[in-house]
Structure 1
Amino acid sequence: MRILLIAIILFLLVMLDYKLGERVYKSALKKKEYPNRQSDLTLFTTGEALFNDYFAELKQAKYHIHILFYIVRNDDVSQQLLNLLKKKAEEGVEVRVLVDWIGSLGLSRKTIQSLKESGIQFAFSNKPSFPFFFYKLNERNHRKITVIDGKIGYLGGFNVGKEYMGQDPKFGNWRDYHLKIVGEGVQDLQTQFRTDWKQATGVAFSKTETYFPPLPQGKMKHQLIPTDGMYLQEKYIDLIKQAKREIIIGSPYFIPGKKVMKALLDAAERGVHITIITPMQADHMFVKEAAMPYFHQLLKANCDIYRFYDGFYHAKVIVIDDEVCDIGTANFDKRSFFINYEMNGYIYDKAFIQSLKEAIARDLETSEKLTMPFFQNRTIVDRVKETIATILSPLL
């Protein structure tokens, strides 16, 4: 009885810490949107293509390299990147590496020490601290940003590790979407990295031309928008309400919550064709089950739901008609809406959107369409898991 009482008290203290931390933190948040920009954008859908280009650009860096990833593994693929960064630092290039404390917890102390000894400035983002330890423990900096010499930027869903190169037999081929940005938009990536670096270290690098050089206009109109656990839900609802003909959503996790779900069902009712792509297999407990109640409602509303089976589907993408698409770091779930630090790129270029839709069409060719009989054949165990997943969904 005493043990149970202690457990209840500890649980209540944790919940109090979390709720107070959430209230204090979010009361200070302000909505942030960078201006519309013109840049040249390149889409990468495989780790091999992305990292071949990425490493080639890093090798050409002359002044500075700024890198933020949610996950950097302690494996051969990560070591290839880190060794390259050490070499650039030893050449005199200024290198800053920022990784999420939870996401990159597997990085060894030996590896981190070797980075620092080579001259790399290294920091963890969102390292939990008091007060509100448990709230901060649950926050994640989920952004993936790279800026090279203030002129070339990368943003998207890929992290650094062998699975992202399709080298993990558990997941097989890894599908993800990542942008290379050349032009005006790079300054916004740099500004966001500077903000996150200052939050993690207490020190901000200067706003001089070294870090913010003059940038040419590119061909494609776009806007970068960071979110820190607020405002993303509202942005997605606005996008859904704009749709007249078609909505395509790709995400490894589909847990939209009541308000976003209502917007989707309203869109379906007014005749918008909705297509959703998620992975067949899951990489975390309960995320697959948490999506099922939403899928059931959407199927009844005549939406198309596909599950990608040729490996793992990790892309984060939204397409609204042929007018705007979103590629960034945010999943279509409550964690990205209400907890994570994310950054998304909204692109208003018809040619780019068309090429993106062609990439999505190729993914649909290796996806299985979900049907009503699937739900009718679920076991009692499946339904129990879905109930548990629904309860846990805000934290998944």
Structure 2
Amino acid sequence: MKFLLLLLTTLVYFNLFILVKDVVFVSIYPYLLGFTALFIIFLLMLQFFQNEIIIKIIYVIMTLFFILFMFTFFQIWKNTRVSNSYQVKRSKYMDQLTEIDKNKRMTDVTLEQSQQGIGKLIEENTGMPISFYNEALLIYDSATMFDEMVEEISKAKSHIHIEFFILRNDNIGQKFKDLLIKKAKEGVEVRVIYDGLGSWSLKRHFRKELIEAGVEIKAYDSIFKSVIKGKLNHRNHRKIVIVDGKVGFTGGINIGDEYLGRDNTIGNWKDILVKIKGEAVKGMQRVFLGDWYYVSGDKLLDNKYFPEWEGENILPVQIVSGGYDTYWNEISQAYFSIITSAKKRLYIATPYLVLSDSMINALQTAALKGVDVKIIIPKNPDLFLVGWANSSFFNKLLNSKVKIYLYEDGFIHSKIFVADDKVVSVGSANLNTRSQYLDCEMNAILFDQSQSELMIRELYKNIGDSDEVMLEDYSKRPLIQRFKEKIGMLMIPLI
């Protein structure tokens, strides 16, 4: 019997490692770890318990856990199929939104070939082309970020759409709630999406106050729903604020006091937010309305959500979104394309440096062909396992002349790519497994030299507050650090 159990487990593991898609494997990985731990415990119990009743109970429990595991595996596999019934309906809805926004203003602006290539890739993957009539403001100070959002929300006349991974009931959360209640009472449509796991501590009375004022607030998969649907490891990590379809914000911050640097255990919080006015907000609106359809079942097709922008300022901007349930790994491909497009320099800031083989190869190739590749990550990450996982990639990167900097003045939470003073990417997507395979993300890509130069100046300030990792020092790291990196590698599919 024990032999049959081992054989069955071996077959299951073989199929998971060899036959299933990457997105399915990394999705099932935490369940796999738990099942493996329980399986080992049960096998040990069988060695020490001889009572027939206890042995039968153990076999029953093992069978139930195996059935639960296979049920979850099936649900995850079904979720990642782009031809499932929900995806078919959602795809039709997104086509309807595209039809509403089909009128494009013509421009004679010509982008460079590398920029065109990135834009073409994203348009093929997402259906969202580069928009040209935009204004953008990159915001680096956390307090200013919230001030800007509050100011624009206060001006809302038609609708406010908000989507965050984390929504806290703290000081900043209370201020946001009070402002949304005020706007709802003024007759403004207010819709809020929060992630059911990321905002697990959000109290019922917080939501109740909003609902009673007329705010529509929905959780993106509660914890219970996530378990039943096999989506516990799939989260909505997007950060979106849209006001009247004309002003949009995206970046790395959520709604919580720690994002203002008020958490003494974290210290100085470094993040980035981009405020966009113009045609690109229509792309952000499409992403939000797609998510709203998922959480509510409502199709919002009114033209008022896609108002015409009359500004004349030229700033090419493109929105890229991706998730576990889309055909392509849109975020991963966008990042890969930006990396491979760089000819002179490529600067990256990310709290998580957890790389796929393709990302490693892209970064190595860029650095070895002479591109100045700099990566800034926090010296003290939010979780110690993240630090172990991050450092497990240092050897491959440092040996290929990639420069790595550990930010020491607090915690860097920015998600930034800058390539050749021509391309800037800002948004919610980290450079890690979760953002590439598991979570719903959204970035704004700015094809502009002046915006790139502003971002590079800010990144150099961060580098000034960082400690560069030298290959010679890293190669002498103690045995315990090497062991930690091995442990960190086991956690890569979770980070």
Aligned mate of 1:343, from 430, 433, 442: 442
More helix by share: 2
Deviation at 1:4, TM superposition (A): 6.9
Return 327-336 or 317-326, whichever deviates more.
317-326
Alpha carbons 1:33, 1:224 under 8 Å: kept: no
* Inter-CA distance 367–96: structure 2 relative to 1 (3 Å threshold): same
Aligned mate of 2:306, from 209, 212, 221: 212
Q: For residues 444 and 370 of structure 2, what CA distance do their matches in structure 1 show? A: 27
Match of 2:236 in 1: 141
1:270 paired with 2:369, answer yes
- Equivalent residue letter for 2:454: S
Deviation at 1:361, TM superposition (A): 1.0
Aligned mate of 1:34, from 128, 131, 137: 128
Q: For residues 382 and 115 of structure 1, what CA distance do their matches in structure 2 show? A: 48
Show CA shifts across 1:236-274 (max 9, x none): 222222121211111000101211111111222212121
User: Equivalent residue of 2:305, what SS?
Assistant: coil
Deviation at 1:98, TM superposition (A): 0.7
1:372 paired with 2:471, answer yes
- Equivalent residue letter for 1:214: E
1:320 paired with 2:419, answer yes
Aligned length in residues: 395
1:93 paired with 2:193, answer no
- Equivalent residue letter for 1:295: F
1:176 paired with 2:230, answer no
User: Equivalent residue of 1:356, what SS?
Assistant: helix
User: Equivalent residue of 2:381, what SS?
Assistant: coil
Task: Please identify the structure whose Cα radius of gyration is greater.
Answer: 2
Deviation at 1:219, TM superposition (A): 2.2
Alpha carbons 1:66, 1:193 under 8 Å: kept: yes
* Inter-CA distance 323–11: structure 2 relative to 1 (3 Å threshold): farther
Match of 1:259 in 2: 358
Match of 2:152 in 1: 57
Deviation at 1:326, TM superposition (A): 0.9
* Inter-CA distance 10–199: structure 2 relative to 1 (3 Å threshold): same
Q: For residues 4 and 253 of structure 1, what CA distance do their matches in structure 2 show? A: 40
Aligned mate of 2:346, from 236, 247, 261: 247
Return 130-139 or 61-70, whichever deviates more.
130-139
Match of 2:316 in 1: 221
Match of 2:122 in 1: none
> What is the percent sequence identity of the aligned residues?
33
User: Equivalent residue of 1:384, what SS?
Assistant: helix
Alpha carbons 1:281, 1:312 under 8 Å: kept: yes
Q: For residues 339 and 222 of structure 1, what CA distance do their matches in structure 2 show? A: 25
Matches within 5 A, 1:62-77: 62-77=157-172
User: Equivalent residue of 1:297, what SS?
Assistant: helix
- Equivalent residue letter for 1:298: L
Return 366-375 or 345-354, whichever deviates more.
366-375
Alpha carbons 2:378, 2:408 under 8 Å: kept: yes
Match of 2:12 in 1: none
Deviation at 1:43, TM superposition (A): 0.5
* Inter-CA distance 8–240: structure 2 relative to 1 (3 Å threshold): farther
Match of 2:280 in 1: 185
Name structure 1 gaps, 5 residues minimum: none
* Inter-CA distance 16–381: structure 2 relative to 1 (3 Å threshold): farther
Deviation at 1:65, TM superposition (A): 0.7
* Inter-CA distance 361–12: structure 2 relative to 1 (3 Å threshold): farther
Deviation at 1:128, TM superposition (A): 5.2
Q: For residues 333 and 33 of structure 1, what CA distance do their matches in structure 2 show? A: 24
- Normalised TM-score (structure 1): 0.94
Alpha carbons 2:207, 2:217 under 8 Å: kept: yes
* Inter-CA distance 358–101: structure 2 relative to 1 (3 Å threshold): same
User: Equivalent residue of 2:242, what SS?
Assistant: strand
Match of 1:298 in 2: 397
User: Equivalent residue of 2:405, what SS?
Assistant: strand
* Inter-CA distance 222–10: structure 2 relative to 1 (3 Å threshold): farther
| Root-mean-square deviation over aligned CA pairs | 2.1
Match of 1:16 in 2: 70
- Equivalent residue letter for 1:21: Q
1:112 paired with 2:211, answer no
Q: For residues 17 and 152 of structure 1, what CA distance do their matches in structure 2 show? A: 43
Deviation at 1:385, TM superposition (A): 2.5
More strand by share: 1
1:388 paired with 2:487, answer yes
- Equivalent residue letter for 1:234: Q
* Inter-CA distance 4–234: structure 2 relative to 1 (3 Å threshold): farther
Return 21-30 or 86-95, whichever deviates more.
21-30
Show CA shifts across 1:100-154 (max 9, x none): 1111111101111111111111100133566973631111101111111111111
Deviation at 1:224, TM superposition (A): 0.4
Alpha carbons 1:33, 1:226 under 8 Å: kept: no
* Inter-CA distance 194–270: structure 2 relative to 1 (3 Å threshold): same
Alpha carbons 2:392, 2:488 under 8 Å: kept: no
Q: For residues 407 and 212 of structure 2, what CA distance do their matches in structure 1 show? A: 43
Alpha carbons 2:363, 2:402 under 8 Å: kept: no
Deviation at 1:56, TM superposition (A): 1.1
User: Equivalent residue of 1:281, what SS?
Assistant: coil
Deviation at 1:294, TM superposition (A): 1.0
Aligned mate of 2:461, from 362, 370, 377: 362
Deviation at 1:384, TM superposition (A): 2.7
- Equivalent residue letter for 1:186: V
Return 96-105 or 23-32, whichever deviates more.
23-32
Match of 1:166 in 2: 261
